[in-house]
Amino acid sequence: MDNLIVVDHPLIQHKLTILRDIETGPKEFRELTKEITLLLTYEATRHIKTHSVEISTPICRTEGKMIEDKKVTVVPILRAGLGMMEGVLSLMPNASVGFIGIYRDPETIQPVEYYAKLPGINDNEIFVLDPMLATGVSSAAAIEYVKKAGGKHITLMCLIASPEGASFISSKFPDIKIFTASLDEKLNDHAYIVPGLGDAGDRLYRTK
Ligand SMILES: O=P(O)(O)OC[C@H]1O[C@H](OP(=O)(O)OP(=O)(O)O)[C@H](O)[C@@H]1O
Ligand SMILES: O=c1cc[nH]c(=O)[nH]1
Ligand SMILES: [Mg+2]
């Protein structure tokens, strides 16, 4: 899978290990989700354009490079993607944010879309956020929605991907890169990622 990038930096591995631990409570879980996402963002934004600006240092005039984060749109998939949002926004505070609400029906394992509000996305760089790429149906539904709204430059960021989810997304959207902190072993009979971290939304918001 050429379009799957596993960002297995030691700092990310360390934080992901604590995140997975069943003993880690919601406060730390939220902090780690933000921190890992921030580190993933560093890699996932390598391709974004820079432009030259002239500035004065205390010594002389010089040219520097800057990004235009006003042309970036972040799209967390509710609920659990919300936990990743601040990690991206802390590096690109002028990005616009769109929200897509999707939950996975536990019986059918099909995505149920219940909310969507996207800003104008024009030619923006779009980062879809979904912490768990399990079967991939939720991310695929969100990507389809963003594409229908005119999104062209889409990157998917997740914390943990399953082989099944990663190959589903990469065959459906060969032009989309997936950045993940880990490619896990497999899905279990309930389509949960193994070893995974359980239900990301429940752990972020203590709903179970
Ligand atoms: O790859 P998939 O098989 O689609 O599974 C992944 C999705 O499942 C979870 O959402 P969930 O349905 O638990 O909703 P929540 O975020 O509101 O908890 C998770 O946050 C992903 O969006
Ligand atoms: O392992 C999984 C699969 C789907 N959703 C989660 O939150 N975790
Ligand atoms: Mg959930």
DSSP string, 85-125: HHHHHTT-TT-EE-EEEEEE-TTT--EEEEEEE----TT-E
User: Domain 4-205: which topology?
Assistant: Rossmann fold (3.40.50)
Residue 202 appears among annotated catalytic residues: yes
- Please indicate if the annotation marks 132 as binding a ligand: yes
Q: Is the pLDDT of residue 146 over 90?
A: yes
Query: With bands split at pLDDT 50, 70 and 90, how would you rate the model's confidence at 187?
Result: very high
E strand or H helix at 66: strand 61-67
- Distance of alpha carbon 204 from alpha carbon 206, whole angstroms: 6
In this prediction, residues 65-74 reach a mean pLDDT of 96
Give the ligand with the smallest distance to the CA of 102: 1
Q: Is the pLDDT of residue 182 over 90?
A: yes
**Average pLDDT in the chain:** 97
In this prediction, residues 125-131 reach a mean pLDDT of 98
How many CA atoms does the CB half-sphere of 9 hold within 13 Å?
16
Q: Which atom of ligand 1 is nearest to the CA of 205?
A: 18
- Please indicate if the annotation marks 104 as binding a ligand: yes
Contact assessment for residue 135 and residue 165, using Cβ atoms and an 8 Å cutoff? yes
Model pLDDT, residue 129? 98
Contact assessment for residue 138 and residue 150, using Cβ atoms and an 8 Å cutoff? no
Backbone angles phi, psi at 129, to 5 degrees: -115, 120
Cβ–ligand 2 distance for 102 under 6 Å, the answer: no
Q: Of residues 104, 180, 184, 203, which has the active-site annotation?
A: 104
- Structure tokens belonging to residue 95: 């990005």
In this prediction, residues 121-128 reach a mean pLDDT of 96
Model pLDDT, residue 1? 82
Query: With bands split at pLDDT 50, 70 and 90, how would you rate the model's confidence at 108?
Result: very high
What are the sequence ranges of the domains in the chain? 4-205
Q: Is the pLDDT of residue 2 over 90?
A: no
Residue 104 appears among annotated catalytic residues: yes
Q: Is the pLDDT of residue 97 over 90?
A: yes
Q: Which atom of ligand 1 is nearest to the CA of 135?
A: 3
- Please indicate if the annotation marks 76 as binding a ligand: no
pLDDT > 90 fraction of the chain, expressed in percent and rounded: 98
Question: How many Cβ atoms from other residues are within 10 Å of residue 57's Cβ?
Answer: 8
What are the CA-CA distances from residue 120 to residues 71, 95, 146 (Å)? 10, 12, 11
In this prediction, residues 57-75 reach a mean pLDDT of 97
Residue from 15, 11, 138 nearest 76 by CA: 138
In this prediction, residues 13-24 reach a mean pLDDT of 98
In this prediction, residues 116-123 reach a mean pLDDT of 95
What are the CA-CA distances from residue 37 to residues 11, 55, 114, 119, 159 (Å)? 12, 31, 25, 22, 7
